[in-house]
Amino acid sequence: MGSPKHDVTNFLSYRGYASGIMLKSVVLRCKFFVSIFSCFLLLKSNMSLIRISKALSACGASSRREAEKLIAHGLVKVNGVTINTPVFFVKDEDEISVAGKVLSKNINVKLWKYFKPKGVITSHKDPLKRTTLFEILPSSIGRVISVGRLDYNTEGLILLTNSGNLARTLELPSTKIERVYLCKAHGKMPTKMPEALAAGVTIDSIKYAPIFIEITKQHNTKAWYKVTLSEGKNREIRRVFERFDLQVTRLIRTSYGKFSIGSMKERDLIEIDNQEFNEYTSCKLNL
């Protein structure tokens, strides 16, 4: 056995060593919780940041796709500084301007029905110099965005809005909003065509969601079809009809969700009642 003095010294040394370990453990835990809290604050601050293209769309300045073109041409500024990349995030308090005009973030969202004529392209500009939809709209409507598109030779209902977010929501396939068309086609419809389209078909590696068709009028090899779909891919109806050896000679969109063309005539423009589309978007789309 050691001397009492030696035992006391050893005990004090062990006690000091243990205290040191405990102190280091406490310090490490504190650093860990400080790190977690810092990450939480950083995440919370970033939650208020949105991509510049989304901000432009929300202000009704452009669609998200068009926003990239505006940025590429050096027309977009944030707090007076020109933005040269679409990978840029902004806060609510940031001032955004396009072509020298400061954007208002509190817009009165509006929605219109328009009867698009045949021979008009749904675009702001066309390299082939064809007539564009936005050239023929009344100037009083202001800057608007189309909800999806209609082909050059397709006529009928197209929705217009000053809200990029609303346009994006209404055109997304995930919302499953039904589009109804009247389609005039030449040729004899194969017996299995309705069943095949209802199950969904794939053409040139492009998969089309279910399409529902029914003949409403027929004379010899010419017939009118009611076509209902929920996607609206590029030239979708024309492509699937061609697959079954039917040639589309006229295509008219008659409704988009609950909004129909009714008795509208070519180039008619009707503003939809604010309460009407608000009730529709809140109930149907859970906005």
Between CA 125 and CA 138 the distance in angstroms is: 16
Q: Is the pTM of this model over 0.85?
A: no
Burial 156-176 (b: 16+ CB within 10 A, else e): bbbbbbbbbbbbbbbbeeebe
Type of residue numbered 202 = T
Nearest to 118 by CA among 130, 101, 105, 100: 130
Specify the pLDDT at position 39. 42
Query: What confidence tens digit (pLDDT) does each residue in 216-227 have?
Result: 999 999 999 999
Structure tokens at 100: 């020298």
Specify the pLDDT at position 285. 59
Query: What confidence tens digit (pLDDT) does each residue in 50-89 have?
Result: 888 888 877 777 777 788 888 998 999 999 999 898 889 9
Nearest to 61 by CA among 96, 113, 9, 19: 96
Burial 81-104 (b: 16+ CB within 10 A, else e): eebeebeeebeeeeebbbeeeebe
Selecting among 92, 94, 126, 151, the annotated active-site residue is 151
Between CA 173 and CA 149 the distance in angstroms is: 13
Specify the pLDDT at position 286. 56
Specify the pLDDT at position 263. 95
Tens digits of pLDDT across the chain (287 residues):
555 555 545 544 555 555 556 656 655 565 555 455 444 444 444 456 888 888 887 777 777 778 888 899 899 999 999 989 888 998 878 889 888 888 877 678 899 999 999 999 998 889 999 999 999 999 888 889 899 999 999 999 999 998 888 888 888 888 889 999 999 999 999 999 999 999 999 999 999 999 999 999 999 999 999 999 998 889 999 999 999 999 999 999 999 999 999 999 999 999 998 888 777 776 665 55
Specify the pLDDT at position 143. 84
Measured CA distances, 21 to 8, 9, 10, 24, 26 (Å): 20, 19, 17, 5, 9
Specify the pLDDT at position 116. 98
Query: What confidence tens digit (pLDDT) does each residue in 92-117 have?
Result: 788 898 888 888 776 788 999 999 99
Is 133 within 8 Å of 146 (Cβ atoms)? yes
Measured CA distances, 67 to 10, 72, 94 (Å): 74, 9, 17
**Cα 126 → chain centroid:** 22
7 a catalytic residue: no
Domain 178-256 has CATH 3.30.70.1560: yes
CATH of domain 50-102: 3.10.290.10
Q: Which CATH class is domain 111-173+263-284?
A: alpha beta
Task: List Cβ neighbours of 143 (8 Å cut-off, separation of 6 or more).
Answer: 60, 61, 162
Count Cβ atoms below 10 Å from residue 64 Cβ, excluding itself: 20
Structure tokens at 66: 């068009």
